[in-house]
Amino acid sequence: MHTITQNINNAIQFLKKGKLVAIPTETVYGLAANGTDEHAIKKIFTAKNRPTNNPLILHFASLEAVLPYVAEFPEQALKLAKAFWPGPLTLLLPKSDNVPESITAGSLRVAVRVPDHPVTQKLLSQLDFPLAAPSANPSGYISPTLPEHVEKQLGDKVAMILDGGPCNQGIESTILGWDTSEKPVIYRQGTITPQDIENVLGRWPKIVAKKQKKIETPGMLSTHYAPKTPTLITNNIEASVKRHPQKMLGVITLMPHKQLPNTAKQTYLSKSGDLTEVAKNLYYTMHIMDAQNLELIIIERAPNEGVGMAINDRLERAASYKEDNL
Ligand code: TXA
Ligand code: MG
């Protein structure tokens, strides 16, 4: 049997037996297991080489299916769920006793979401348990947006990869919770923007970025959310290319750009500069660039507005260097 297949029935059988199955979502591919089975959950951490203190998101077919797994569904959360589910929004809610310890890593809040992908919707609706699923990449590497990315990175660790084609959002879901005074807080930015949240709740959310790694000094590549090739982000692509003439360069611009000197590979993320399209193509393009044996990848920053904020957050994490204000 091929690892990449569209056979939902096989996926159901594997998941019921406690095996790992990679699943498509609208954001990125997930590495899924039965979210109520401690033994199956443990396999996720092992396969990804993920620290067990990093909690997992539970995925459900519908809002109703979430209810047994939360102690309460506060009004603001309900408004957001009704506005954005199924969709790329993960909510942090008080957990119920049905959620295993290993899912939340000891936290009293559980991360829940209803993904918007027809294949995974069909799968979830035929299971009587939620799916625990982090992004299907080895810890520290770029998330997969195609079944082939999963196969390359974790193919020997999964029973199968459920083929749902390319992910149409392309970056991970927005994660939102509330602080002790019930103010909404975005813990991870995504294609559902602070403006989208304000439109529903009538208040602008606080944005709390998880502590980002420091950009290392040259030569010291850090590896969180990152390609293996050293990666530089810049707001002045021409100046940065000029500064690295001796390197085998790969260049990724937001929009089509005239041929730059000395680049081994040059590409762009969106014909029109549409930020939703930039997000969709970002990891896909980074995966391609990372396979070219380049010495340095230079990526252009997005305007820091709307979905651009989430894009820049991911670039920041992928980068080993940055050059701004050149
Ligand atoms: O789009 C997505 O969210 C994808 C798809 C597969 O659904 N999943 C994903 O999962 O990105 P993962 O594990 O790669 O990232 C989830 C993030 C992690 O940073 C984790 O620390 C955080 O969510 N998280 C999960 N549960 C949490 C909790 N109870 N409290 C705080 N943060 C939590
Ligand atoms: Mg991840």
The residue type found at 269 is L
Q: What is the mean pLDDT of residues 122-148?
A: 97
Q: How far is the CA of 49 from the centre of ligand 2 (A)?
A: 12
Task: State the ligand closest to the CA atom of 169.
Answer: 1
| 139-152 per-position pLDDT tens digit | 999 999 999 999 99
Q: How far is the CA of 30 from the centre of ligand 2 (A)?
A: 9
Q: What is the pLDDT of residue 219?
A: 42
Index of the ligand 1 atom closest to the CA of residue 169? 1
Q: What is the mean pLDDT of residues 163-185?
A: 97
| 246-276 per-position pLDDT tens digit | 889 999 999 999 999 989 999 999 999 999 9
**Angle, alpha carbons 290-134-146 (nearest 5°):** 45
pTM for the structure as a whole: 0.95
Q: What is the mean pLDDT of residues 220-245?
A: 85
Between 113 and 225, name the one with better pLDDT.
113
Q: What is the pLDDT of residue 217?
A: 46
Q: What is the pLDDT of residue 101?
A: 96
Task: Name the pLDDT band for 158 (thresholds 50, 70, 90).
Answer: very high
Q: What is the mean pLDDT of residues 151-175?
A: 97
Q: Which residues line ligand 1 (CB under 6 A)?
A: 25, 27-28, 30, 54-57, 90, 92, 104, 107, 109-111, 115, 133-135, 172-173, 175
| 32-45 per-position pLDDT tens digit | 999 999 999 999 99
Strand ordering across the sheet containing 263-268: 263-268, 249-253, 296-300, 231-234, 321-323
Task: Name the pLDDT band for 63 (thresholds 50, 70, 90).
Answer: very high
Q: Is the pLDDT of residue 193 over 80?
A: yes
Q: How far is the CA of 133 from the centre of ligand 2 (A)?
A: 9
The residue type found at 1 is M
- Nearest Cα residue to 88 out of 23, 26, 168: 26
Index of the ligand 1 atom closest to the CA of residue 171? 1
Q: Is the pLDDT of residue 225 over 80?
A: no
Q: Whose CA is nearest to atom 10 of ligand 1?
A: 134
Q: What is the mean pLDDT of residues 192-219?
A: 80
- Nearest Cα residue to 313 out of 273, 274, 268, 282: 282
Q: How far is the CA of 262 from the centre of ligand 1 (A)?
A: 39
